[in-house]
Amino acid sequence: MVNNSKAFILAKYAIMFATIFVAMMIDRGISAALPISMAICVLLVTFSFCFIQNSWADGVAAFTCFGVASFIKAFIFPDAIQWYYKPVVYILPRILAGVMCFGTYRLMLWAVRRVSQRRVAQIVAMVAAIAVGLASNTVFFLLPFGYLSEGGEGFVAAIRSVVFLNILPEYLTSLILAPAVVLGVRRGLKLGIDGNNWRIAAQQETANLDADNDRGSDDNHI
């Protein structure tokens, strides 16, 4: 039976947030030993949660959890951004990136729907979506800095500072590992290559309930 109860959904998103937050803290620990701040683990985990279940809700929720975790981390490890700017800098850009990422995934699945190898189609769709998600996250996250500094100089400076040091390792890690992680977890959870076995099961369960109700109505008329 498919579990769609509110308690189950709440528990699922709580686990999602906790895992993303722990990954963010791991990145923080790694970055403490480096001259730059890295987000390799948290991006890999966020993209994995985004695609495990082929669901808009989960896709956007993963990036929302990423944004909220970043928002909380900014208070644990204070930065120069004033508190009333923090939601604009940390949460909203991640939600927009999530919409762009999962939207690209669904669009690419439609574009490669004629590919006979479903696994190949999934990998192509995820790689394209991850590339868009990474670019969107970088641009949407750094864009507010252009408004928080005069003449947009902060935005330009921020872009220059992260292009080679942060973007390359973060992008390569997510692009290479995330599809493998997603397909592996889908296999372990028996979600199918497309990640939608749960939806098929829910539809079948609804159809069975409707059939039982119809039979009950027929018995009452006899």
- Which sign does the torsion angle of CA 167, 133, 41, 76 carry? positive
pLDDT class of 128 with cuts at 50, 70, 90: very high
Q: Which residue has the higher pLDDT, 156 or 189?
A: 189
Q: What is the pLDDT of residue 38?
A: 81
The verdict on residue 103 lying in a domain is yes
Distance CA 129, CA 133 (A): 6
The verdict on residue 185 lying in a domain is yes
Q: What is the pLDDT of residue 1?
A: 45
pTM of structure: 0.83
| Amino acid occupying residue 22 | V
The CATH number covering residue 104 comes to 1.10.1760.20
The verdict on residue 222 lying in a domain is no
The verdict on residue 178 lying in a domain is yes
Give the range among 51-55, 74-78, 98-102, 106-110 with minimum mean pLDDT.
74-78
The verdict on residue 14 lying in a domain is yes
The verdict on residue 219 lying in a domain is no
The parent domain of residue 142 ranges over 6-211
Give the range among 13-22, 63-72, 201-210 with minimum mean pLDDT.
201-210
Mean per-residue pLDDT of the chain? 84
**pLDDT digits over 55-80, tens only?**
999 999 999 999 999 999 988 988 77
The count of domains in the chain is 1
